[in-house]
Chain A
Amino acid sequence: KQEVTQIPAALSVPEGENLVLNCSFTDSAIYNLQWFRQDPGKGLTSLLLIQSSQREQTSGRLNASLDKSSGRSTLYIAASQPGDSATYLCAVRPFPNFGNEKLTFGTGTRLTIIP
């Protein structure tokens, strides 16, 4: 059974710092990995999706990397801003099989950027 872990559960950093969020998964046979952002009381918004054949994806100040063989992904946030404060979740997806679109989520890292 796939298990996804995100450590630490919470992180506080001063504004302007670069930071890294971690995600690890137990079964390396994944199709892709996604990073989501969740604001308090809101749903999830997809930030980046990395296919299993890719090593990284970038969007603005965000860069996500994937090392499938070691079961790890990182989300790098450059020049952090107070608006980046949110909970960040990663989720992995197995290879497509009819009807099997299940994502396995980590428990998230709650990020606070201190002004």
Chain B
Amino acid sequence: DAKTTQPNSMESNEEEPVHLPCNHSTISGTDYIHWYRQLPSQGPEYVIHGLTSNVNNRMASLAIAEDRKSSTLILHRATLRDAAVYYCILSVPTDSWGKLQFGAGTQVVVTP
């Protein structure tokens, strides 16, 4: 199964942008790139996902490299509530839909 590689941790100042990198060099053509975040004592929360094109939503932006071997999650203005573990995950196809297999994730620390 395709795997992802992320930095263990990143620190950001409040109201600054945060760029979270993810490498997935073994990605297949049909694998979706998902990002989830998890706050302490909570379940993972969907952030964004994409296949080939860059994606934007109210929470974040996802920039996907042209060769799809890497991607970057962009939080435009970090707040203290954005402090969480961020997981970059490949959705591996099984039958009709995918199977999410989590990597180690990046701990994001936001300082005031």
Same complex origin of A and B: no
Q: Which residues of A line the B interface, CB within 8 A? A: none
What is B's interface to A at a CB cutoff of 8 Å? none
